[in-house]
Every structure is written in structure tokens, then in C-alpha cells.
């Protein structure tokens, strides 16, 4: 074989090997087709709106279209299960929440996936605190006064939730455990249905989501006592936290992105970098704020540690308070 033929063959082999290695490692060619982001909740809800705000900017940062794929049902477990079974090639992502990876696994051992081992953590996207609401007729002007009022009237006060086993239910039970109060639970099929009773004074307190609760405060229909984030929220910087009265108290709904199990480190880092860049964008911050959410970001390792701690906290509360979905 002539020397030029040998050199040509070697170059062809080297080029083919390099392309194969790049495809396998997730660099170079990735992403060369649209990326699917599974949202395990219905279109039009808060998680879906947040996903669409994020996916648009993520697509710009990563250089490929990111398509939102709604897979609602069973409290988010249907969509999460679908994501866990996808190929770990970087083209399927999951926008998970506290419901799918913290509370769900803690309260329902029969979910079809293992939240710890069937996913690859990529990025902590955002957190959204609850807001403590009381009717204007309440004698309490702050959390300290509310706790004192509840302690003086054990079993005489009640609270609403969006149903058994929901974040609103668990947050209030967590508060009761930390504050040493006895407040009766009245479950509703969503906090919106409880609002008229809270406004009229038939209910005494509601730990509602920030985005649905704050408009009633701004309209003068309800009084806000505190937020449930550990630190004061940039969304309402003048509103105290529950932790200022009960040190360490924290309850937020978090949103984060996972890939399927087996997603390699290079692809994970690539998506994480693009995700952090998207979350730093002013337009994304503004759109998140309208949903009552604050962008977070950070490393996959920090995200995984946060979820592990959140799951352990809710598992402890569920066990101690004997909470079920029934």
C-alpha cells in the first residue's frame, strides 16, 4: 500500500473514532435534535408555565429547541415514571417537584420508580414558599400572636388544606408539631375552594402557595402573617418568615431538573451549565417572580443533597403525625 493511502486511511479512522467518541460522551454533536422536557402535571398549571419559561431560555443557551411534553396523572408519578425509563442520552429531561421526589416517595411506597436511584440529578431550578394567611377578623397580627392564640384555644381553631398528603397539609402539620398547637384539619379539593370560608372567618388559617394567596392580601381580603421560606423572600421582603418565630422552620415547593438514570457526567454538566445560564437571565427571573418562584441553580450535587434532606424531613413528619392520603 502506498504511503499516501496509509495516511488517508489513518485519517479516516481517526475522524470516525473521534465522532463516535464525541457522540458517546455527549460532547460535540450534542444536541443535534430537539430535547424533550417532561412536565408531570397538566398544561396551564404553575409547573407547566414555569417549564415553558425555562425551556425557551434553556433552548437558547444550549443551542437546540426544548419541547415541553405534559404527562399528567397520579400526582406527577406518571410523567416521572416515563422520564425514568427514557434513554440516558440527554434528550429527555424531567421537571420534577417536591410532589414527585420528596413527598410522593415519603407518603406512597407504591410509586413505580425509585426517586433516589432511577434519575440523574441535573439542576435545582426554583423554590416557591407558602404564605400564612388568616382572615382579617383574626386577633393575630403576627406568627407569635397566632401561636399564642392557638395554644390558648386547643382544638378550637381549624385550618384548610388542598387535600390529605398535599404540601399544604404537611406544612401545617409540620407547623403544629414545631409550635405545640392543636388545630383541626379541614381538607378541601384545592385551596381556591377554601378561600371564601377563610375570607368569611369560617376558617382560621391557611398555608397557601404564594402565587394564589398573595393576590387576596393585596386586595385587602386576607392578612398575611409570614412566609415559609427559611429566609425572607425577595417576592415580599417586608413579610417575616415563620422561622423568625420558630427557628429552622422551612417549607417550600421546589422545582428541579433530572435526567434518566445513567446520564453520563459530561452530558449532565453540559445541561447544568446551560440551565444555570438560563436561570440567571433577567427575563426568566421576572417570569418566575410572577409565579411566586425564585430561581436557584447550582450544582447537581447540591441539588441531590437538598432533595435528600427534604425527603427525610417529610418522611419524619408523615411518620410522627401518622399522615396518609386517605
pLDDT value at residue 46: 85
The residue among 244, 272, 296 that closes a domain is: 244
Domain count, the chain: 2
In a domain, 97, yes or no: yes
In a domain, 51, yes or no: yes
Intra-chain end-to-end CA distance of the chain, in Å: 78
One domain for residues 291 and 201: no
CATH number at residue 44: 3.40.190.150
Cβ pair 169, 161 in contact under 8 A:
yes
What is the pLDDT confidence band of residue 7, given thresholds at 50, 70 and 90?
A: very low
One domain for residues 226 and 276: no
pLDDT > 80? residue 24: no
The residue among 187, 222, 244 that closes a domain is: 244
pLDDT digits (tens, 9 = 90+) for 242-266: 999 999 999 999 999 999 999 999 9
pLDDT digits (tens, 9 = 90+) for 58-117: 999 999 999 999 999 988 999 999 999 999 999 999 999 999 999 999 999 889 999 999
What is the pLDDT confidence band of residue 28, given thresholds at 50, 70 and 90?
A: low
- This prediction's pTM: 0.84
* DSSP labels, 70-121: E---GGGHHHHHHHHTS-SSSSEEEEEEHIIIIIHHHH-TT-SS-TTTSEEE
Q: Which domain holds residue 101?
A: 32-128+252-320
One domain for residues 100 and 184: no
The residue among 244, 268, 298 that closes a domain is: 244
CATH number at residue 239: 3.40.190.10
Amino acid at each position: 500500500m502506498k504511503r499516501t493511502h496509509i495516511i488517508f486511511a489513518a485519517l479516516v479512522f481517526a475522524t470516525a473514532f473521534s465522532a463516535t467518541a464525541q457522540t458517546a460522551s455527549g460532547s460535540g454533536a450534542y444536541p443535534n435534535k430537539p430535547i424533550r422536557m417532561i412536565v408531570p402535571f397538566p398544561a396551564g398549571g404553575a409547573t407547566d408555565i414555569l417549564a415553558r419559561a425555562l425551556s425557551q431560555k434553556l433552548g437558547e443557551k444550549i443551542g437546540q429547541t426544548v419541547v415541553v411534553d405534559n404527562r399528567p396523572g397520579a400526582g406527577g408519578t406518571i410523567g416521572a415514571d416515563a422520564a425514568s425509563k427514557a434513554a440516558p442520552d440527554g434528550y429527555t429531561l424531567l421537571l420534577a417537584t417536591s410532589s414527585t421526589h420528596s413527598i410522593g416517595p415519603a407518603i406512597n411506597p407504591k410509586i413505580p420508580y425509585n426517586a433516589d436511584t432511577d434519575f440523574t440529578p441535573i439542576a435545582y431550578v426554583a423554590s416557591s414558599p407558602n404564605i400564612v394567611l388568616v382572615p382579617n377578623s383574626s386577633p393575630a397580627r403576627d406568627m407569635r400572636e397566632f401561636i399564642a392564640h392557638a395554644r390558648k384555644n386547643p382544638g378550637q381553631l381549624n385550618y384548610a388544606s388542598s387535600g390529605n398528603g398535599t404540601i399544604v397539609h404537611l406544612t401545617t402539620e409540620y407547623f403544629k408539631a414545631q409550635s405545640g398547637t392543636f388545630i383541626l384539619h379541614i381538607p378541601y379539593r384545592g385551596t381556591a375552594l377554601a378561600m371564601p370560608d377563610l375570607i368569611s372567618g369560617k376558617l382560621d388559617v391557611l398555608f397557601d402557595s404564594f402565587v394564589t394567596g398573595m393576590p387576596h392580601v393585596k386586595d385587602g381580603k386576607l392578612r398575611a402573617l409570614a412566609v415559609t421560606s427559611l429566609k425572607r423572600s425577595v417576592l415580599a421582603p417586608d413579610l417575616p418568615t415563620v422561622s423568625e418565630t420558630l427557628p429552622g422552620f422551612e417549607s417550600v415547593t421546589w422545582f428541579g431538573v433530572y435526567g434518566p438514570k445513567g446520564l453520563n457526567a459530561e452530558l449532565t454538566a453540559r445541561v447544568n451549565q446551560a440551565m444555570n445560564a438560563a436561570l440567571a437571565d433577567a427575563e426568566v427571573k421576572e417570569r418566575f417572580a410572577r409565579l411566586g418562584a425564585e430561581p436557584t441553580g447550582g450544582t447537581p450535587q447540591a441539588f441531590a443533597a437538598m432533595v435528600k434532606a427534604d425527603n427525610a424531613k417529610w418522611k419524619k413528619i408523615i411518620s410522627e403525625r401518622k399522615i396518609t392520603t386517605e
